[in-house]
Every structure is written in structure tokens, then in C-alpha cells.
Amino acid sequence: KLQFLYFIGGTMAWKSRLYGMATDMRYFVVGWVGGNWASCYIDVCEVKGRSMDPSLSENRGDRVVVLKHGYPKNDLLKGKVYTIRNPSDPEKTIIKRLVGTEGERYYCNGRGPVTVPQGHIWVEGDNSLFSEDSRYYGAIPAGLVIGEAKGIIWPFSAASRIPDFDISGREYQEPPPPLVLPEQPAPSDALIDDHDYPYQPSDICATDVDMPEEAADAPS
């Protein structure tokens, strides 16, 4: 009987251990799947540089949450902020605001006005003086977009959705045509028309002026 009880007790202990291991494995699998799912769809990025001041600040230590996997590239919206693979170095990630879409014209340094081609976008930083963006490397393929930056999650004091920023007036405007003045009539050499003047210079002479008798008899 004692051996039987020992056997039953040992069996129950092993079952308890196996159940605990199975539970731990279940939690591990769920955590692994959940973590990988989250990393595929959501990311947290640290802001570097001053190109997005004042909306996003490195000095403040901003970290933003990004919705990335499977983001519809044909549904990118002007005015939104996106994380993008740097067209000059795909190993690096940049964060910029989408300013223009295909068919619109913008000014690119060194190239003049350019039209955004099909399947491309035009991005710029909010802080134009400290941003290297499409004004330097032109329009970028929409396929380089990683995801949309949804909001600031750190620091807690600044936690909020990413603020809007005025992007109006950035599209290239054709210069107005030169001002053409109407032709003016050639200036006349005569300041006064002789026909309009009642007297001619020959009609007036000193001999025709009546002088007083005293003045006329005075010795010269």
C-alpha cells in the first residue's frame, strides 16, 4: 500500500511539473508571438536632430510610436509624419512630413522646379533651416515609407499626438510674367504750340511800349 501511495504521489508530482512546464511554455509562445506581432506592426523610434522642431524635439528626448507593417502606400496623406528609409543610405531611417504627392511641382536645390513623378512623394522637415529632405535629394519612392508616426509617448509630460504643421505655400509657384508698360507717345520738341499762343514774339518790341513823357525827355 505504501508503495502504491508513493507511486500515486510521484505520478501526481510529475503531472504537476508537466502542467507547470506546459503553462510556462504556453506563456512563452504567446509572448513570443505577441512580441513578434507587435514588432511587425508597431515600433518606437527615438527622434534625432533638429529637422522636425518644434513638432518633435531631440532636446526633449521625444520617442514616437510608429504604425508600420502593411501600411497602404497608396493612402499616404499630406501633412502626416512618416518614418522613411533614407534614400541616400537605406540602412538609416529619417522622419519627415509629407508635403507633396505625384503631379505637384516643388523646387529642388541645384535642379530647379521638378514635378513629383508617379509613385513618389515629396517630404520636408518642419524646421526648414536644419532639414535635409526632398529639397536636396528630390522626390522619393513611396515604397521607402516604413510607417506613420502616430504620437509622442515619451516623455510623459509631452505625450500627445504629433501636432499639425502648416505646409501651405511650399509648392512651386510660376513667376508672374514681366510687366509690359503701354507705349508712350514721343515727346514734342515744342513746349508751346505757336497756334495756341495769342502773341508772336515779333509782335512785341520795346518801341511799341508807351513811355511817360518825363522818361522820354530825360537826357540819355
Catalytic machinery residues:
51, 96
Would residue 70 be called left, alpha or beta, if left means φ above 0 and alpha means ψ between -120 and 50 degrees? left
Q: Is 62 exposed, middle or buried (0-12, 13-18, 19+ CB in 10 A)?
A: buried
Q: How far apart are the first and last CA of the chain?
A: 177
Strand ranges (E), 19-156: 42-46, 63-67, 81-85, 93-101, 105-108, 112-115, 120-124, 140-141, 145-154
Cα 110 from Cα 120, distance rounded (Å): 19
Cα 204 from Cα 207, distance rounded (Å): 9
